[in-house]
Amino acid sequence: MSEMSIKLNLNKYCIEGTAFLVIDTVEKTVPAKGGIRVHPNVTEEEIASLAAEMTQKCILAGLPFGGAKGGIRLADMSQLERAMYGFGRELSKLDFLPYKWCAAPDVNTDSVAIDAFIAGCASVKGWRKARISATGKSSGIPHELGSTAYGVVLSLEKTIEYLGLDIALPVSRVIVEGIGEVGGNAIKLLIAKGARIAGISDITGSLYAAKGLNSAQLLKNLEAKKTVQAMGPDFSDAEYSAKSSDLLGRDADILVLAGPGRSITPEKAEHLKVKIIVEGANIAYSETELRKTVNTQGIISIPGIIANSGGVISSYEEWVLENQDKMEDSMEEKWEIVKASIETRITRNISDLCSKFTQCNRRKTPLECALEIASERQQKAREANHNLRNKTKLINSELEKKYAVFTR
């Protein structure tokens, strides 16, 4: 059950749009954290599910934030910037920004969209407060740098290493669902490590070549921001399908999920032909039970609450720098801070995940193992906080008695 949710009509900004904010968990001293996704079919249920996932993601990454998510159901995507401005302004008038929620990019939102959101907040709260209302802005640490993808590829490498899987990344064949900010950057990183990209997909269709797509041409097309359909003529040896989901049934070593989510359906779960899945997408499965179907086939599915946490880790580091007035550091310096934080947090999580997964002889799904780790850490944190409160009360009580003469 979410802590709070709000629904806003954006008609006053002359657009056909409805905005949602769901805060799943509230922390006393820091805002809840989660990105804003925008598309014509956003639902409150979708946003609530994503907010709950953010709670677990923050616990596992060792971040102090509560979990939240924002969304805008927008009929005309050309009005994205205006919708983001209106969302930021209306939430500021309700005092949700900047201290109850800190936004970030998600599906169809980038640093430019976040800049518009911050401008809406600034129109009510002023620029200083507005800057801490969101991360991933163009003057902060833009997610376009590839923080989420960096975590996705790191999760993949560490899982292969810690589980001793018979997969050599430099000669592996990879299929990637989604070629946007996460998928596109993951492709670049994987190619740099020697992997062959055998297939890709987006909303316009899928391309697959068993021996791999030409890496140089693929990178060139990604730079030009071509759709998969438009790329078709550039790969004469590749098979094109207008149905994006056809990619999920193709043969490969690795499947990177970096689309809008819920792509592993009952039909697809039975016909996967990969050894390992890395969930760069949020809520990768249409039904939680399908994870068991995949697990019983011997396919490892690295849960998104670990694999795609690079984005929120980057956001945390930006939020810290912003609150310390240290955003004047060069982008290179800030990016090094982000990478180091991602490596520390995700390596720890993958190590613990693989250990627990091995201990149960892989009978539990990786997500079940990850949720157990999150629960254990949360309980440990509660106990530590309880002990700290009791210790503080004891100290205060002793001092009150000692100096009672001054308060009579």
| Catalytic (active-site) positions | 69
Give the whole-angstrom CA distance, residue 376 versus residue 383: 11
Q: E-assigned strands of 108-253?
A: 173-177, 196-202, 205-208, 239-241
Q: Is 205 left (phi over 0), alpha (psi -120 to 50) or beta?
A: left
Residues 6+ apart with CB under 8 A from 119: 85, 88, 130
Q: What is the DSSP letter of 198?
A: E
Longest dimension (CA), the chain: 90
Q: Residue 39 class from Cβ within 10 Å (0-12 exposed, 13-18 middle, 19+ buried)?
A: middle
**What does the alpha-carbon distance between residue 374 and residue 402 come to, in Å, rounded to a whole number?**
42
**3-class DSSP assignment, residue 382:** helix
Beta-sheet strands, E only, within 26-90? 32-33, 36-39, 66-74
DSSP 103: B
In angstroms, rounded to a whole number, what is the distance separating the alpha carbons of residues 351 and 159? 8
Strands 205-208 and 239-241: antiparallel
> Taking Cα atoms as reference points, which of 120, 158, 143 lies closest to residue 311?
143
Rg of the chain over CA atoms, in angstroms?
22
| DSSP annotation of 300 | E
